Amino acid sequence: MRMETVNREQKVIVYDTTLRDGAQGEGVHFSVKDKLLYVQKMAEINLPFIEAGWPGANPRDEEFFRLAADLSFKNTKIAAFGSTCKVNESPEQSDILANLLASGAPVITIFGKAWNLHVREVLRTTLGENLRLIRESVEYLVRNGREVFFDAEHFFDGWLENPAYALSCIEAAMEGGALVIILCDTNGGVLPADVTRGVRDVNRRLSPQELGIHAHNDSGLAVANSLAAVEAGVTQIQGAWNGFGERCGNANLSTLIPVLQLKLGYQVMDNSVISRLTHLSRYVAELANFPFDEKQPFVGRSAFAHKAGMHVDGVLKTRRSFEHIVPSQVGNEGRILISDQAGKANIWERMQHYQPDILKNDIRVEEAMVQIKSLENQGFQFEIAEGSLDLRLQKILGQFAPPFQLVDYHVWSDPLRGDLDSVAVVKLQVGEETVHIASEGCGPVNALDQALRQALCTFFPVIEKSELVDYKVRVLDESSGTEAVVRVIVETCLGTDKWGTIGVSSNILKASAQALLDSLYVTISKGNISKDLTAGL
* Interaction between residue 346 and a copy of itself (CB under 8 A): no
* Beta-ladder partners of 202: none
- Among 55, 112, 300, 527, which residue interacts with a copy of itself (rule: CB under 8 A)? 300
* Interaction between residue 470 and a copy of itself (CB under 8 A): yes
- Among 41, 60, 86, 465, which residue interacts with a copy of itself (rule: CB under 8 A)? 60
- Rule CB under 8 A: which of 501-530 touch a copy of itself? 505-510, 513
* Interaction between residue 55 and a copy of itself (CB under 8 A): no
> Residue 431 — left, alpha, or beta (φ > 0 → left; ψ -120 to 50 → alpha)?
left
* Interaction between residue 233 and a copy of itself (CB under 8 A): no
Residue number, 349 or 383, with CB nearest to a copy of itself: 383
* Interaction between residue 320 and a copy of itself (CB under 8 A): yes
* Interaction between residue 259 and a copy of itself (CB under 8 A): yes
- What distances in angstroms separate CA 524 from CA 102, 433, 528, one per listed residue? 55, 17, 6
168-187 mask for a copy of itself (x: CB under 8 A)?
------------------xx
- Among 446, 501, 523, 525, which residue interacts with a copy of itself (rule: CB under 8 A)? 446
C-beta neighbour count of 444 within 10 angstroms: 19
* Beta-ladder partners of 488: 473, 503
Nearest by Cα to 260 from 8, 1, 2: 8
Q: Which stretch binds a copy of itself (CB under 8 A): 8-16, 136-144, 481-489, 527-535?
A: 481-489
**Cβ(165)–Cβ(116) below 8 Å:** yes
* Interaction between residue 310 and a copy of itself (CB under 8 A): yes
129-168 mask for a copy of itself (x: CB under 8 A)?
-------------------------x--x--xx-------
Q: Which H, E and C letters describe 394-449, residue by residue?
A: HHHCCCCCCCCEEEEEEEEECCCCCCCCEEEEEEEEECCEEEEEEEEECCHHHHHH
- Rule CB under 8 A: which of 262-281 touch a copy of itself? 263-264
Q: What is the DSSP string of 349-369?
A: HHHHTT-TT--TT-HHHHHHH
* Interaction between residue 324 and a copy of itself (CB under 8 A): yes
Q: How far is the CB of 500 from a copy of itself (least distance, A)?
A: 12
- Among 129, 294, 333, 367, which residue interacts with a copy of itself (rule: CB under 8 A)? 294
* Interaction between residue 51 and a copy of itself (CB under 8 A): no
* Interaction between residue 247 and a copy of itself (CB under 8 A): yes
3-state secondary structure of 454: helix
* Interaction between residue 311 and a copy of itself (CB under 8 A): yes
Cα 432 to Cα 430: distance, rounded to the nearest angstrom: 6
* Interaction between residue 468 and a copy of itself (CB under 8 A): yes
- Rule CB under 8 A: which of 386-415 touch a copy of itself? 408-415
Q: How far is the CB of 74 from a copy of itself (least distance, A)?
A: 30
**Cβ(492)–Cβ(501) below 8 Å:** yes
How many CA atoms, within 13 angstroms, populate the side-chain half-sphere of residue 232? Answer: 24
Residues whose CB falls within 8 Å of the CB of residue 493, separated by 6 or more in sequence, listed in order: 466, 467, 468, 469
At residue 94, what are phi and psi to the nearest 5 degrees? -80, 120
11-40 mask for a copy of itself (x: CB under 8 A)?
------------xxxxx-x-----------
- Among 272, 318, 496, 534, which residue interacts with a copy of itself (rule: CB under 8 A)? 318
- Among 166, 337, 368, 393, which residue interacts with a copy of itself (rule: CB under 8 A)? 337
- Rule CB under 8 A: which of 66-125 touch a copy of itself? 83, 117-118, 121-122, 124
Q: How far is the CB of 443 from a copy of itself (least distance, A)?
A: 4
CB crowding 225-235: b at 16 or more within 10 Å, else e:
bbbbbbbbebb
- Rule CB under 8 A: which of 356-385 touch a copy of itself? 373, 376, 381, 383-384
- Rule CB under 8 A: which of 203-222 touch a copy of itself? 217-221
Q: What is the DSSP string of 19-80?
A: TTTGGGSTT----HHHHHHHHHHHHHTT-SEEEEE-TTTSHHHHHHHHHHTT---SS-EEEE
**Cβ(501)–Cβ(489) below 8 Å:** yes
* Interaction between residue 200 and a copy of itself (CB under 8 A): no
- What distances in angstroms separate CA 23 from CA 35, 58, 286, one per listed residue? 11, 13, 13
* Interaction between residue 260 and a copy of itself (CB under 8 A): no
Q: How far is the CB of 64 from a copy of itself (least distance, A)?
A: 13
Q: Which stretch binds a copy of itself (CB under 8 A): 140-148, 272-280, 347-355, 469-477?
A: 469-477
* Interaction between residue 449 and a copy of itself (CB under 8 A): yes
Residue number, 399 or 495, with CB nearest to a copy of itself: 495
C-alpha dihedral (475, 478, 479, 485), degrees to nearest 10: -30
Q: How far is the CB of 90 from a copy of itself (least distance, A)?
A: 21
Q: Is the dihedral of CA 259, 265, 268, 272 positive or negative?
A: positive
